[in-house]
Structure formats: C-alpha cells, structure tokens
Amino acid sequence: MTQAPASSASEKRSFQPYRLPDGGLIDRSRPFRFRFDRQSYTGFAGDTLASALVANGVRVVGRSFKYHRPRGIFTAGSEEPNALVELRQTNRREPNTCATTAELFDGLVATSQNRWPSLGFDAMAINGRLSPLFPAGFYYKTFMWPSSFWEKFYEPAIRRSAGLGRAAPGDDPDEYEKAFAHCDVLVIGSGPAGLMAAVTAARSGARVILAEDDFRLGGRLLAERMVLDGRDAASWVALIEAELESMPDVRIMRRTSIFGVYDHGQYGAVERVGDHLPEPPAHQPRQRFWKIVAKRAVLAAGASERPIAFAGNDRPGVMLAGAVRTYLNRFAAAPAMRLVVFTNNDDGWRTAADAINAGLPVEAVVDSRPDVRELPAAARSGTIRVFRGAQIVQAKGVRTLRAVEVIDAEGRATSIACDSLAVSGGWNPALHLTCHLGGKPQWRDDIAALVPKTAPPGMAIVGAANGAMTLADCLRTGADAGVRAAVDCGFTAKTIALPRAGDDSVAVTALWLVQGKGKAFVDFQNDVTAADIALAVQEGFRSAEHLKRYTTLGMATDQGKIGGVTGLAILSELVERSICEVGTTTYRPPYTPVSLGVLAGHHRGKDFRPTRLSPSHQWALERSAVMVETGAWLRAQYYPQPGESDWLETVSREVRTVRSAVGVCDVSTLGRIDVQGADAGVFLDRVYTNAFSSLPVGKARYGLMLREDGFVMDDGTTSRLAANHYFMTTTTANAAKIMQHLEYCAQVLWSDLDVQMVSVSEQWVQFSIAGPRSRETLRKLVDTQYDLSNEAFPHLAARPVTIMGGLNALLFRLSFSGELAYELAVPARYGDAVIRGVMAAGEAFGITPYGTEALGVMRIEKGHVSTNEINGQTTAHDLGAHRMLSTRKDFIGRIMAERPALRAPHRPVFVGFKPVDRAARLNAGAHFLPLGAAATAENDQGYMTSVAFSPTLGHWIGLGLLQRGPQRFGERVRAYDPVRGGDVEVEVCDPIFVDPERVRLNG
C-alpha cells in the first residue's frame, strides 16, 4: 500500500484505495456497500463508518459549529468532535451520530450535516472570514438594537445556522425496552484492565456483568500491536473472552454503554441491540435500557487522547496519534500517505513505529521534549527526520492537510509537506463515571492529567481510567480489583498469574498550546480557540464554570472529552494558578449521549401509562360507548344510540331516562377501602370531619376529609357493615392518596388503635342504579329473601345481599343523582355478568346505561360537589359543608381550618348559577364580576367550577364559588370568560336545581 489512490472519475469505488493489503480485525469476505453524501463506497464487516471512510480516502466529513470549517475524522471513538453525520434516513434519521462508533452495515446511508449547500462548498464558511466579529460571547454584546429585531431577525438567523444535524421528520418507528439486571460485580470496559477484573472476579465465583461499549471486547488492545504471554493482543483477548463466555455466571454485554452512576449501586446502561443493522430484527428493540444493580463495580473505561492546540490543528488530515494506530492496526485502513507525528510523550512514537510497520512513509516525528530517551528502531535507522524540543506552529491546507510548519529547538522554521499529522498531547483518564455522584478529580503532574480522587461507593477504578498507563499496570490493577470485588461480595479469591506484558515508558511533558498565528482549536466542534479562552479570561471569566459557559468550551457533543482538560490547562496558565485552583467543571451523566427513545422504553403512545378498565368495559364497547380518559381509567362517557346527532342529545336522553325511569352507570373507579378493627369507628372519627363511630350497622354516611392544613381533601360515603367493619369509598382521583393517608394515620399517628385497612378497589365492581324504577329493577336482581321496601331498605341503607341466585354483593342506597338510587357492588370477576343482568332486569322499565357525562349533569343539577370543587384550595365553609365539621371530637385538619384566612368572610362560597338569557351557554372557568364593573383583578369575585346543560330545566346551569354567594341569591353577576370570548349575565341561586325537597331521593 504505497501507491497513490487511483483518481479516475469513471472508476467505480468498489475498491478501497486506502485499505492496507492485509491485517486488521475486519472480515474481507463480507464487503458492505454504503453511501456517504450520495457517493457510494465499500467497506468490510468489522468496520466503523469512520474506518470505512478512511479506507476510501474520504477526508472532509463534517463542518464545525460556528465557522463551518471543513473537518476530518479526528478520533476513533465516542469522543469524536468532527465526524458527526446524519445516519439513516427519514424517520430513522439520527443526527449527530459519531461515524467513529457507528458500525458499518450493508446499505448504510449517512449524510454530512451543518453545511449548505454541500460539504465541499459551505456558504456559511464566510463566518470563518468574519471570525474577528465572532469572538467568545459576541452575542451578549450585540443584537440589542432595535429590540424587536431579536425575535424577528437575529435569533431566527442564529437558530438556523446553529444546531448540528436535522432531527427525524416524523415519529420514531423503532421499539425500545427496559430491563433490570443484578450482579455482584459490574466491570465497565473490556480493555486489558477490564478483562482481568472480569476474569478474576468470575473465577472467584462472583456473578459478573462485563459491559463493553464497542462491538468487540479488547479496548485499546484491538488498536495496538502488543504481546501478552507471547500471543498477539487480539488472540489473548479471544482466549479470555472464550473463558468468560463459558462461565454461566458471567454476562458479557457488548455494544453496551454504562452511561451513568446513580445512588446505591445503580448503573444506567444502553445496549444497542439493532443499531448495527439496517433495521432492528423483527420483535427486537432498537436499543434496550438496562438498570443494573451491582454490589461492586470496576471502572476500566480507559483513557482518551487529547490534542495539542496550535494554528490549524483542525485541518482535515490532523488526527490523534492513537486513532491513527487504531485505523492502521484494527481496521487496516491508512489515514495517511505521508505522515508526520507531533507528540509530547513516548506514546506518540508508537504511531510512527506502527505506520512504518504498515509500510507508510513517516516524514518526521516532532517531539516537543528536548530530551527524548529512546527512539523506535525505524527512527534510529535514520529514515525518519526527528525534531526534538520542537513544535508544530501551523498546519496548512483547507480541505486537506498539505504541510506543517515546524519550529525546532533552535528556533528554525521548517516546512514539511505531508497529508496527515498524528498528534498526541497525552491521555486523559476516562474518569467521568467517578464524578456522577459528586466526586471531584485531582491533578497528577507525572502524567499531566486529571485522575479520580474518590470513587463512588462500591466502585474500584483501574487501568488507564485511574492513570495506570502501561499495559502491565493495567493488567495488574484490573486483576487486583477483580479479586477485591469478589471478596467484598463474600467469595473466596482465586488468584491468577498475570500475563507477561510490556512495561513501555509513557513519559509525558505537558504541552497544551503552541503560540502562533491562526486559530488554535481547543474545543473543535464548538470552534473554541485558545484566543477565545484568552479573551474570556481578559473579560473576567476566570473560573472553569464561567469559562465553559462563556466560550461554550466542553459543551459540544463530546462534552469536553477532547478539549476540556486542555482548556483548563490554558486557563490555569493564563490566570497563573494551578488546575486544581481554577477548578474543573462537573462531569454529568450520560457519559455518551443516550437516545430519548431508550429512556422512555415502551412507555409511549397508548402504552405511555397503564390503562385501567372496569370489568364492564367490554360490555360498554358492545353498547358503542364513547370512552374518555379519567386519570388512569377509561370510562364510558356516554352511550350514543342510532339517530342521535351529538353528545348533548345522547347525554340529555340518558339524564331524562334516569330521572323518569332507571339507568345504570359503572362507578367502579371510586376508591374502595375496607377498614376493620375494634377501633375502626374511632379511627374514622379522626380522619373524617363528621362522626362514624355512631353510624349504625347497616347504614352509610357521607363523609368529608380535610388535610391537616384544614382544606378539604376528599369526600365519599362510608358504610358500616359490622360493628368492627367499615367499607369506605373515595373519589376516583384520590383513591391512592387516601389509602396512603389512612395508612399514615394508622401506622404513624395512632399506631395504638386496633385498625387495619386494605384497598379493595380492584376487588369490587360497583354500579349505580338510579331512577324511580331502580327499586323494581333491583327487585328482579336481588334474591327474594331481601326486603327492598323503603321501610326495610331506606335511603342510606347499606347491607350485604345476594343477587342473581346466590352471588354475594353489597347493596347501598346512595344517590348522586338525587333520584331513588342504589349502588351495587359485586366481586370484580362477576362485573360483566352483573351489568348484563342489570340491563336485563331493567329492560321492562326502560333502563338506559349512562356515562360520566350524565352522571356529571345530574350531580350538578343536585348541587353536589366533585373534583372541580374539591380542588385543594377550598374549605368546608367554602363548599357550604361547614355543618359537617364536628365540634364534639378532634379530626385531621380541625385546628388549621380555624385559621383566620380560612374563615375570612370574603372567601368565595359555593352557589348555583343560571344564565339570565336562558338560551345562553355557560362555561366553567369563567370568573364572576359585579354587573357594570370593569374587568380587573380587583373586581374578581370568584369563578364557575362546573357547568352542564340541564335537560330537566331546559337550560344551562352552573356551580361556582362566589364571594358572599349564599347571601346573593337572585342577584345578577357577569360570568366573564374572555379566553373563550364569553361574557354571560348569570343569576345567583341555590346550587340544588332539582328536587330540593328530596322527595325523589326518599321515594
């Protein structure tokens, strides 16, 4: 691989001009075709998109954020700042995808982003020429005049030019799922340290999860020409991998990123199940979100290389030295024809050696250190020019690197023609996960890097992630941590012999910035230069946090993995304080970006939240019921019949039928709580404002509960089924909350009381059977030995009965509608049979099923309060329920309900409203103003809580809260509703619109 690539325009790009003739962990028998920016290329199985682009000699792959400078592939990992592409198309389009981690598959389509009209010619590149106008924070200083131009002109222009890729245009078609995993030892990373940790922990008997971001185990071992126990690295990895695969208590999770550390040993992980395929396989998710609970964790996340800031250090062809080795060794792809290496550490020399080994000409090695100890054989042989104590002051070329300018130790300038520059500024340990629970890193001078200072509880940090930079150290620290983790989990350690491995020097002498003319980039993606940092410091942004926020350093998709430490180092030199003193910014989860889809899992669309269905649901559907979401429930809203033109006609018919004959409504959504115990009555006396210990067995009573702060919490009816046995109902909305509240009262406040409770909401289905013919209907349903006459079973009676020939049921004579009415509860599994039984029993009497709308209309006609009135802001006095506040006992909320503001005379009080023009429609949410008063807050006297069209009265009616309402019956006020264009004159009235004498109820 020494000849230049063929450039015939007619030639199909089926061959890969920069692919090395042999080597690499790619499968040359499986060529994959792919497209980048409409151009077709070929790569191999085992490639990433980036390595395939390298093999095809594609140089420019993206444009930068602000200056739209052409950029090339810079890394070989998830820290990639430049090679971000839109992967896939239409609704599967994923913007900002790292080409360096995207696995190649046959048919892959990728598009460059943030350029117009094309990657080769980007009109926005004019920003680069105007860059003196766009220094750090320029937008804070301008765009202020004229002020209306910000939203109209400046901001839209900024927004259009900002952003990176384009989001998918429509709904994400793929599925996601969530899973839990538990283990003794979670090993994060499968480089030499991680593999040793996993294998030692597993051999000791621990349940191990080994999570690896990549699709192959091995970490840096895949990218280096290293030897362990006499084998090449890849075959050593294969050996360990085979052993781990054979162990039943080991789970290897490839393509799995541990993205966050959460409290008490919980780790967030994303497994990319189908991202390496054109589409996820049938019945498989695209990605899976794992919540891993681990007793111990070993962080072996390695390190990432950092660049050196110098003029033009972003030119396509400049690449991190370690990435050059990855492309050469792992992917057999040559990033260069003529390579120059610029390094401040020994590791950079490996790149020169590997390039020579791959047959690539190395033009020069520029080492900033004057006293480099050892040189690779090739350098010693004199085929490479070596500059010691020298620096590259400029990289030249626009769309590809053409030459570098070297200033040698004596200050002489030399220009070296080249097409590729491998840069190594040292390595930053991947310590991010150690900071998620608040850990701060510390500076280590010997490796010129931040290392973890503390670890999250239960985590050990090994290998390069902890600053152990040689292979031997990685293996040793990994093995030690694996043993310790297993022992901590109660296993007996099995020690193993460490593989023999090299202990190459990794000496580094910090070099952050080479002064020179031209833009020296620190954060590549966000176009933050060394000059921007200097300007920020000049303007007083001298802390790490201020610098980050003012310049956007470290806020790009790589989250500062490329430029963060370099930026801090430049800052610390400028302010003449140590890196520790200037502080670091906080590393936040996720370690690498995580799709929202996977965090949501299957909780979207109809499955966003569970749907609760009543046992009569299927029956209701058969009756063509229109369903409505009511909290977690789906309820029948109304039951249209053929010929009915709209909901109002249907609902009115349902109401009229109930008021004239009989109707049935499923009220199973009410909370039901079974309360038992010798002190159950006393207990209920304390949680309700009114008394329940005095309630006779066989009777029900309406009860009101307050919160401890004195406001109304809930209402409902509670029945006494036996001396020590009560059956409570709560509102639908508050069922869970009341259960929790009662348990609190019983367990915490009054644990001395003999009372137990259990929610039986799920166990019973409950129907309201209402209307003048409800008794006759029930008579056909309830077994004959039960007397249902008004005398034997009066209003508020509550008793167990049997129905339909022996089925146990609870029958309550309760009325929400104001009619003669019952509620019948039966075990939930009989719900379907019983609703059909009720309908059959009522057929002769003209029974109708009715839904939540008719239920609401009738309760408004009767002036009953509901959730609209019990909204957490109202008191018993507000609701006209003050007579329910017992003065003979204590109850929750009694004391605080007496606070002056809760008893203030100006508080709006519950009353009814009728439109003066009876044809007018009312709207809930309207506010009440005195007639003729201006529409101002001062004149606001209350608001409408509930409205309905009353078929009984033939006009709209409303309930609401009005200042001094009960004293103002007959007075007219404005119901002011500007958000719906309404302004209706209404008359204040008694909230009970129908049957105030309660004749029907007791009929």
Partner 1 sequence: MKYSAFTLAYEALRGHADWKPAWREPEPKAEYDVVIVGGGGHGLATAYYLAKEHGLSNVAVVEKGWIGSGNAGRNTTIIRSNYLLPANTQFYEWSMKLWEGLERDLNYNVMVSQRGVLNLCHSDAQRDAFARRGNAMRLNGVDAQLLDHSEVRAMLPFLDYDNARFPIRGGLLQRRGGTARHDAVVWGYARAADRRGIDIIQNCEVTGLTIRNGRISGVETARGPIRAGKVGLAVAGNSSRLAAMAGLRLPIESHVIQAFVTEGVKPVVDCVLTFGAGHFYISQSDKGGLVFGGDLDGYNSYAQRGNLPTVEDIVEGGVALWPGLGRLRVLRHWGGIIDMSMDGSPIIDRTPIDGLYLNAGWCYGGFKATPASGWCFAHLIARDEPHPLHAAFRLDRFAAGMVIDEKGQGAQPNLH
Partner 2 sequence: MRIICPYCGERGNEEFSYLGDASLLRPDPAGAGAMHAFADYVYLRDNPRGSHREFWYHAAGCRSWLIVTRNTSTHDITRVEFACDVAAARMASFEDEG
Segment 224 to 283, residues that bind partner 2, using CB under 8 A = 262-266
| Secondary structure class of 910 (helix, strand, coil) | strand
709 or 940: CB nearest partner 2: 709
Of 399-407, 546-554, 650-658, 805-813, the segment contacting partner 1 by CB under 8 A is: 546-554
Contacts of 146 (CB under 8 A, 6+ apart): none
Q: Does residue 543 interact with partner 1 by CB under 8 A? A: yes
Where are the extended beta strands (E) located within 828-874? 848-849
Judge contact between 568 and 579, C-beta under 8 A: yes
Judge contact between 294 and 186, C-beta under 8 A: yes
Q: How far is it, in rounded angstroms, from Cα 978 to Cα 976?
A: 6
Judge contact between 560 and 567, C-beta under 8 A: yes
Q: How many CB atoms are closer than 10 A to CB 450?
A: 24
Q: Report the relative pairing of strands 420-424 and 339-343 from DSSP bridges.
A: parallel
Place of tokens 């309900």: 897
837 or 908: CB nearest partner 1: 908
User: What one-character-per-residue DSSP string does 516-559 give?
Assistant: -SS-BEEETTTTEEHHHHHHHHHTT--SHHHHHHHH-TT-STTT
Site string for partner 2, 438-467 (x = CB under 8 A): x------------------x----------
Q: Which does 743 bind (CB under 5 to 8 A by kind): partner 2, partner 1, none?
A: partner 2
Q: Does residue 868 interact with partner 1 by CB under 8 A? A: yes
Site string for partner 2, 291-330 (x = CB under 8 A): x-x-------------------------------------
Of 10-18, 326-334, 383-391, 626-634, the segment contacting partner 1 by CB under 8 A is: 626-634
Q: How many CB atoms are closer than 10 A to CB 170?
A: 10
Judge contact between 639 and 848, C-beta under 8 A: yes
Q: Does residue 744 interact with partner 1 by CB under 8 A? A: no
Q: Does residue 268 interact with partner 1 by CB under 8 A? A: yes
Of 105-113, 187-195, 672-680, 742-750, the segment contacting partner 2 by CB under 8 A is: 742-750
Q: 279, 649, 708, 987: which one contacts partner 2 (CB under 8 A)?
A: 708
Residue type at 591?
Y
Of 53-61, 132-140, 343-351, 418-426, the segment contacting partner 1 by CB under 8 A is: 132-140
Residues in the interface with partner 2 (CB under 8 A) total 27
Burial class (CB in 10 A: 0-12, 13-18, 19+), 222: buried
Closest CB 461 distance from partner 2, rounded Å:
19
What is the chain's length? 1003
Q: Does residue 150 interact with partner 1 by CB under 8 A? A: yes
Q: Print burial letters for 904-933: b (CB count within 10 Å at least 16), e (below 16).
A: eeebbbbbbbbbeeeebebbbebbbbeeee
Residue 512's alpha-carbon distances to 135, 194, 325, 445, 535, in angstroms, are: 21, 30, 22, 14, 17
Q: Which does 740 bind (CB under 5 to 8 A by kind): partner 1, partner 2, none?
A: partner 2
165 or 425: CB nearest partner 1: 165
Of 92-100, 458-466, 679-687, 756-764, the segment contacting partner 1 by CB under 8 A is: 92-100
Site string for partner 2, 586-625 (x = CB under 8 A): ----------------------------------------
Q: Print burial letters for 795-804: b (CB count within 10 Å at least 16), e (below 16).
A: bbbbbebebb
Judge contact between 807 and 831, C-beta under 8 A: no
Of 104-112, 344-352, 722-730, 977-985, the segment contacting partner 1 by CB under 8 A is: 977-985
Of 273-281, 606-614, 801-809, 887-895, the segment contacting partner 2 by CB under 8 A is: 887-895
247 or 753: CB nearest partner 2: 753
Task: Please give the residues from 421 up to 440 whose contact with partner 2 meets the rule CB under 8 A.
Answer: 438
Q: Does residue 740 interact with partner 1 by CB under 8 A? A: no
Closest CB 710 distance from partner 2, rounded Å:
9
Q: Does residue 871 interact with partner 1 by CB under 8 A? A: yes
Task: Please give the residues from 908 up to 937 whose contact with partner 1 meets the rule CB under 8 A.
Answer: 923-927, 935-937
Q: Hey, CA dihedral for 337, 342, 348, 349, is it positive or negative?
A: positive
Axis crossing angle, helix 564-575 with helix 530-538, rounded to the nearest 10: 40
Closest CB 179 distance from partner 2, rounded Å:
13
Q: How far is it, in rounded angstroms, from Cα 59 to Cα 17?
A: 13
Site string for partner 1, 575-594 (x = CB under 8 A): -----------x-xxx--xx
Radius of gyration of the chain (CA): 38
Closest CB 874 distance from partner 2, rounded Å:
18
Closest CB 442 distance from partner 2, rounded Å:
19
Q: Does residue 744 interact with partner 2 by CB under 8 A? A: yes
Q: Which does 159 bind (CB under 5 to 8 A by kind): partner 2, partner 1, none?
A: partner 1
Q: How far is it, in rounded angstroms, from Cα 822 to Cα 956?
A: 27
Residue 892's alpha-carbon distances to 67, 671, 689, 707, 719, in angstroms, are: 65, 20, 7, 6, 20
Task: Please give the residues from 752 up to 781 whose contact with partner 2 meets the rule CB under 8 A.
Answer: 752
Place of tokens 């990123």: 257
Locate 529 and state its tokens: 């230069």
Of 90-98, 492-500, 810-818, 949-957, the segment contacting partner 1 by CB under 8 A is: 90-98
Q: 736, 833, 920, 933: which one contacts partner 2 (CB under 8 A)?
A: 736
282 or 901: CB nearest partner 2: 901
Q: Does residue 454 interact with partner 1 by CB under 8 A? A: no
H or E element that contains 727: strand 725-730
Q: Does residue 170 interact with partner 1 by CB under 8 A? A: yes
Q: How far is it, in rounded angstroms, from Cα 149 to Cα 152?
A: 5
Q: Which does 539 bind (CB under 5 to 8 A by kind): partner 2, partner 1, none?
A: partner 1
Axis crossing angle, helix 564-575 with helix 544-551, rounded to the nearest 10: 120
Q: Does residue 388 interact with partner 1 by CB under 8 A? A: no
Closest CB 895 distance from partner 2, rounded Å:
4
Q: 600, 682, 896, 920: which one contacts partner 2 (CB under 8 A)?
A: 896
Contacts of 508 (CB under 8 A, 6+ apart): 344, 345, 346, 347, 426, 427, 447, 448
Of 147-155, 316-324, 470-478, 890-898, the segment contacting partner 2 by CB under 8 A is: 890-898
Q: How far is it, in rounded angstroms, from Cα 858 to Cα 821?
A: 12
Of 44-52, 195-203, 380-388, 436-444, the segment contacting partner 1 by CB under 8 A is: 436-444
| Secondary structure class of 853 (helix, strand, coil) | helix
Q: What backbone torsions phi and psi does residue 728 show, to the nearest 5 degrees?
A: -100, 140
Q: Does residue 518 interact with partner 1 by CB under 8 A? A: no
370 or 457: CB nearest partner 2: 457
6 or 144: CB nearest partner 1: 144
Task: Please give the residues from 493 up to 512 whose contact with partner 1 meets the rule CB under 8 A.
Answer: none
Q: Does residue 747 interact with partner 2 by CB under 8 A? A: yes
Peptide bond connecting 117 to the previous residue in cis, omega within 30 degrees of 0: yes
Of 360-368, 444-452, 548-556, 736-744, the segment contacting partner 2 by CB under 8 A is: 736-744
Locate 139 and state its tokens: 């937008």
Contacts of 199 (CB under 8 A, 6+ apart): 240, 243, 244, 482, 496
Residues in the interface with partner 1 (CB under 8 A) total 118
Using CB under 8 A as the criterion, which residues of the chain lie in contact with partner 2 when the complex forms? 262-266, 291, 293, 438, 457, 708-709, 736, 739-740, 743-744, 747-749, 751-752, 890, 894-896, 898-899
